[in-house]
A = this chain, B = another copy of it.
Amino acid sequence: MSSNLYIGLVHHPVYDKRKEIVATAVTNFDIHDIARCAKTFGIGGFFIITPLESQVQLAGRIIRHWVEGFGSVYNPTRKESLSLVRVSRTIDEADRAISDLWQKRVKRVATGASPHPKGIDFDFFRKLLKDETMPHFILFGTGWGLTQEVKDDSDYVLAPIEGKGYNHLSVRSAVAIILDRLLRDRIAGSE
């Protein structure tokens, strides 16, 4: 089954510590950890979204190293996971790549650490994903999170993972937990 869920890791527009809108740097660990999660859960694709030319080049070099270069021989399991990674300059550009492939409008789901009027819970999202004729694009913010505008422009905003009075997971951990909650029924030995 070709998965109907795609991941976007957004480096712009996101907030920084002071709630100003910035473009964050691409992080090697993010690419590897999230690509390996994406491969584990059979995700359709993983888009790194950054408008900065230097970061587009950097992400491209990392991907090529593991998919075509020395890394592909040194560690073939990384080739499998990094093959899922694409780089896009904007959320809309990634969205168009998915809608071109499916010839359908893509349902966009934002994530974040606070509730939102368009909020949906995990159970609702799992039900949406059961319709395998519909592509879905889940967005994760780097830095201090996706901007309000990105959330307002999405179809839905997924409920936050609420810790025990502490709500500061890394984006890598949040992706792992959210994919497991959404897709564990699709993989073996999950419980």
Contact in complex: A189, B36 (CB < 8 Å)? no
Interface 0/1 of A55-73, CB less than 8 Å to B: 0000000000000000000
* Known A-B contacts A170-B32, A172-B33, A191-B121; A39 and B163 likewise in contact (beta carbons under 8 Å): yes
* Known A-B contacts A172-B172, A180-B177, A181-B191; A164 and B36 likewise in contact (beta carbons under 8 Å): no
Contact in complex: A187, B169 (CB < 8 Å)? no
Q: Which residue among A77, A159, A167 has the maximum number of chain B CB atoms within 10 Å of its CB?
A: A167
Give CA–CA (A17, B78) in the complex, Å.
13
* Known A-B contacts A36-B169, A169-B36; A190 and B176 likewise in contact (beta carbons under 8 Å): no
Contact in complex: A40, B180 (CB < 8 Å)? no
For A179, give the chain B residue with the smallest CB separation.
B177
For A168, give the chain B residue with the smallest CB separation.
B77
* Known A-B contacts A121-B191, A173-B33, A191-B121; A40 and B181 likewise in contact (beta carbons under 8 Å): no
Judged by a CB distance under 8 angstroms, whether A92 is at the interface is: no
Contact in complex: B180, A162 (CB < 8 Å)? no
Give CA–CA (A186, B122) in the complex, Å.
17
- Tell me which of B42, B123, B162, B169 contacts A164 (CB under 8 A): B42
Selected A-B contacts with CB under 8 Å, 28 pairs: A29-B29, A29-B172, A32-B170, A36-B168, A36-B170, A37-B173, A40-B164, A40-B167, A40-B173, A41-B164, A42-B163, A77-B166, A78-B168, A80-B166, A81-B166, A122-B191, A162-B187, A162-B188, A162-B190, A163-B187, A164-B188, A172-B173, A173-B176, A174-B176, A176-B176, A176-B177, A177-B177, A177-B180
- Show the binding face of A for B, using Cβ within 8 Å: 17, 29, 32-33, 36-37, 39-42, 75, 77-78, 80-81, 121-123, 159-164, 166-170, 172-177, 180-181, 186-191
